[in-house]
A and B are shown apart, each in its own frame.
Chain A
Amino acid sequence: MAATSRALLGVGTIPLLGSAIGANPAFAASSAIPGARPATAKNTIFLYMGGGMTHIDTLDPKPGTEEQGPVEAIKTNVPGIHVSQHLPHLAKIMDRLAIIRSMNTTQGAHRQAVYYNHASYTKRGTISHPTLGAWVSRLGGRINPTLPAAVTIGGGSGALGKGFFSATHSPLPIGNPNSGLEYSEMPAYLPQDDFHRRLSLAERLNQNFAKRYEHEVFTSYRELYDEAIKLMKSSDLAVFDLGRERDKLRDAYGRNPFGQGCLLARRLVEQNVRFVEVNFGGWDTHNDHFSRIGEKLPILDQALSTLVLDLERHGLLDETLVVLTTDFGRTPKVNGVREGRDHHPQAYSTLMAGGGIAGGQVYGATDKTASEVVDNKVSPPDFNATIAYAMGLPLDQIVASPNGRPFTVAHKGKPVTAMFG
């Protein structure tokens, strides 16, 4: 009778912990992995504009053309570089920024474009590729052993994750930056001792299962729990609490999910999280384009300029690479009836700052109407290769999927080394 129930219990119990039981997370060793070359960036903040952000109305204005429409171009604090009138704060700090005007992608549909931008491989049915943050975790490791190497703020459930990597490389998802990391507190009714006793019991029940089914999925699941407990017990958890920042600074970032997400990103890189993605969606302006970007661009302008200046005064901008990218651009030709711009993968703009990138530069160019790239084409894999290069990650290191297929961090992408200063 007892034997049967034990046998029953040995199969399919919830895998729980190994080392975290009773363990005092005294000294946890950093597991950073030295790179292929000295890095200029220790961390990356990856700002993703979901939906395809227009380029002619933001970073690549063409004043005087019919395509430009009602949005004017303004000077920046770098002679010769102009940006949209909707980005006045960014214009004042152009000397810290680098604009890439020659982006070009092969993917003109949202799902595929988002996938390509994050994975550097095109979406296909045969495998799930890891997102860039997961690659940073896999190739770069963690400097702070308690926090995950990668965090994704916003972005929804469709976001790419660890792909075929083990669970420990999953970027930690944060839905709403204002809520912090939810469900991370110990329940009030449960004293510490009881908690540990429960964990020990679960572990004993687990041992038979562990002995019989030594499988990667199982160990990876246990690692996930291990890490969750470690995080719950550490003081690093405070990094998620935006309430610790001055109200006035929170106002300066903008009291909206993107603004507060950027503030959380700054706090995370301060605690040595290697890769933080912050999402800002709603850029798919097929309809009513000009009034919608008139509302969204000030949010971007405020959040990004505050982020760059805040990182700089903390001394973090030297080693933090801030990048902004999007699905694709939007047609310079306005579609008549709906007053909108449609998808335009042939040419679009992105932005980089810090982490070794020379400020005050424009890389690449489009033609008179911002329709085609004429100089120095950059693809999404090239963009990601540049990030990996800045972080010192090996571009040619092959990581094989469980079925033996080889993959690299940016696939065929070549880093734009000319942008480093």
Chain B
Amino acid sequence: MRALLILGLFAASALTSAFGQIHFERAVLPILEEHCMDCHKAPHTVNGRTQKPKGDLRLDGRFFILKGGAGGRVLTPGQSAQSELYTRTILPKDHDDIMPPKGGPLPIGDRLVLKQWINEGAKFGAWVGAKPVSVARPAPPPAVKRSASAIDYTALSAGLAVPSARALDEVRKASRLSVMPLARGSALLRVDTATEPSAITDLSLSKLQPLAKHITHLKLGKTSITHLNGLVAYPRLIDLDVHGTGVSSESLARLGGLKRLERLNLHDTDIGDRAIPHLVKLRSLKRLYVWNTKMTPAGLKRLQGALPKTRIIAGNGLP
């Protein structure tokens, strides 16, 4: 009896580290390898079929033992009573959930080793075992190029309330123009002619005033407007199109305060070189369309010199 005890102690000392703690690699790993890993290891092929780890639990690597499986963690370091890695091994022999499920319960010595190892903190020492393979993540799509020319509409609509459907309808009926949010839920609006642009007059344009601060695009080509007096009230205007209208060079003076105007379409109008002092004030202008106006080549040259960042488009050489 004492010999057995001494033998046991001797054996135990071989399985423990210098401090008397259970040494994982020498004491626990062999148990796992012999009784557990057939089912709880990496996916492998048997007879041409892929076997996945049972219960999605792998015990062939430190990462996996700590990770747990489909039912969650199986190991709570320091608490063997909370660790299924141990508790499932001490169930009654014919219990449904006993581990290992076949070949009888673990020998008592093995169970005790597991219990002690867990209670001592479940230290692995230097052992790592199988490492998780980093899943190749698909390369993230290239970030949408926010070029300098992209307009930040979100910033532009800061502080603006979304106009009500009724307010929009009233303005549409009164002005006879198409008034549409830039996108669903946007507070910013664009205005286009719907049909019969010649029916749109200065009066129609004035009906847009209640929503002026929301409007970013104002397309009034071929309408019957004669002046742009109301435009001082459009601080967020980015795109103004008055081609084919009767606006004069002088009326462009009203645009001076528009700090965000990027596109101005004046083709097919009578504006001439007298417009230049007003146009040079539009520092934010990126595109200026002046085909078929009364501007002279010399005037255009001067204008381009004063607005180096603006692309001025005249006839493009077409008839």
Query: Which residues of A line the B interface, CB within 8 A?
Result: 25, 27-30, 32, 34-39, 42, 143-146, 234-236, 246, 248-249, 251-252, 270, 272, 306, 309-310, 312-315, 318, 358, 392, 417-418, 420-421
Contact = CB atoms under 8 A, between A and B. Distances in A.
Nearest to B149: A421
Chain A residues touching B, majority SS: loop
A318 B239 CA distance: 10
Contact of A36 (B142, B178, B184): B184
B131 to A, nearest CB: 33
Contacts of A246: 319
A321 to B, nearest CB: 16
8 nearest CB pairs, A to B: A30-B178, A248-B319, A315-B265, A30-B194, A309-B316, A315-B289, A38-B182, A34-B181
Contact of B182 (A34, A143, A252): A34
Contact of A310 (B173, B178, B316): B316
B263 A29 contact: no
B134 interface: no
Nearest to A358: B147
B215 to A, nearest CB: 13
A420 B144 contact: yes
Interface residues of B, number: 42
Contacts of A417: 141, 144-145
Contacts of A420: 144-145, 150
A252 B178 contact: no
Contacts of A318: 239, 263, 287
Given A30-B192, A272-B192, A306-B318, A315 B287 contact: yes
A315 B180 contact: no
Contacts, number: 109
A34 B184 contact: yes
Contact of B178 (A32, A234, A249, A418): A32
13 contacts: A25-B195, A27-B176, A34-B183, A34-B184, A38-B153, A143-B178, A248-B319, A309-B318, A314-B243, A314-B291, A315-B267, A315-B313, A418-B142
Interface-central residue, B141, B176, B194, B265, by most chain A CB under 10 Å: B194
Contacts of B48: none
B194 A28 contact: yes
Interface in B168-212: 172-173, 176, 178, 180-184, 186, 188, 192-196
A298 B21 CA distance: 87
B297 interface: no
A236 B147 contact: no
Contacts of A38: 151, 153, 182-183, 186, 188
A32 B144 contact: no
A117 B183 CA distance: 27
B316 A313 contact: yes
B195 A28 contact: yes
B274 to A, nearest CB: 21
B199 to A, nearest CB: 8
Contact of B243 (A28, A30, A37, A315): A315
Contacts of A236: 195-196
A315 B147 contact: no
A144 B194 contact: yes
A32 B180 contact: yes
Given A36-B183, A38-B151, A235-B196, 10 more contacts: A30-B172, A38-B188, A234-B196, A249-B319, A309-B318, A313-B267, A313-B291, A315-B263, A417-B145, A420-B144
Contacts of A309: 316-318
Contacts of A418: 142, 144-145
A144 B263 CA distance: 22
Nearest to B182: A38
B318 A35 contact: no
B250 interface: no
Contact of B267 (A146, A251, A314): A314
A392 B217 CA distance: 15
Given A252-B319, A313-B314, A315-B263, A146 B195 contact: yes
B71 interface: no
A60 B183 CA distance: 37
B103 interface: no
B241 interface: yes
Contacts of B178: 30, 32, 143
Contacts of B159: none
A40 to B, nearest CB: 9
Nearest to B262: A318
A358 B241 CA distance: 22
Nearest to B179: A30
Contact of A143 (B184, B194, B315): B194
Contact of A392 (B151, B183, B287, B313): B183
B183 A29 contact: no
Contacts of A36: 183-184
Contact of A421 (B145, B172, B180, B313): B145
B181 to A, nearest CB: 4
B220 to A, nearest CB: 12
A315 B149 CA distance: 17
A255 B133 CA distance: 65
Contacts of B149: 421
B4 to A, nearest CB: 71
Contacts of B183: 34-39, 392
A254 to B, nearest CB: 13
Nearest to A93: B316
A39 B196 CA distance: 24
A155 B34 CA distance: 73
A358 B148 CA distance: 12
Given A313-B267, A313-B289, A145 B318 contact: no
A144 B195 contact: yes
Nearest to A230: B195
A201 B313 CA distance: 55
A314 B239 CA distance: 14
Contacts of A145: 194-195
Contacts of B194: 27-30, 143-145, 272
A146 B176 CA distance: 14
A236 B150 CA distance: 34
Contacts of B172: 29-30
Contact of A312 (B151, B196, B243, B316): B316
